Structure 1
Amino acid sequence: MRILKSHPILSLANSYLIDNPEAPNISYMWNFRSLLGLCLVIQILTGIFLAMHYSPNVDLAFASVEHIMRDVNYGWAVRYTHANTASFFFICVYLHIGRGLYYGSYKSPRTLPWSIGVIILVLMMATAFLAYVLPYGQMSLWGATVITNLLSAIPWIGQSLVEFIWGGFSVSNATLNRFFSLHYLLPFILAALAVMHLLTIHTHGSGNPLGITGNLDRLPFHPYFIFKDLVTILFFILALSFFVFYAPNVLGHPDNYIMANPMQTPASIVPEWYLLPYYAILTSIPNKLLGVVALFASLLILLAMPLLDTSRVRGSQFTPLMKFMFWVFTANFFILLWIGSQHPESPFLEIGQISTFLYFAWFLIIVPVSGIVVNTLMDLALKNK
Structure 2
Amino acid sequence: MIKFLYKKALKPLLFKTDPEFIHDAFVNLGEVAGKVGAGRAMLSSMYGFKGPDISKTVDGITYKSPVGLAAGFDYNGKLAHVLDCLAFGADEIGSVTARPCEGNAKPRLQRMIKSQSLVVYKGLRNQGVDKIIERLKGIKKPEGFVWGISIAKTNDEGGSTLEGGIADYHYSLKRLAEENIGDFYTINISCPNVHGGENFAEPERLRKLLEKLTAVKHAKPMYVKMPINTEWKEFNSLLMVLDEFNIHGVVIGNLNKNYEDAVYPEEAPKEYRGGLSGKTCFHLSNELIRQTKQHWGSRFTIIGCGGILTVSDAMVKLEAGADLLQLITGMIFEGPHLMKDICEAYAVRVKHKRGEGILVP
TM-score grouping bracket, smaller chain normalisation: under 0.3
Select the structure that is richer in strand.
2
With structure 1 as the length reference, what TM-score do the two structures score? 0.25
Relative contact order higher in (CA < 8 Å, ≥ 6 apart):
1
With structure 2 as the length reference, what TM-score do the two structures score? 0.26
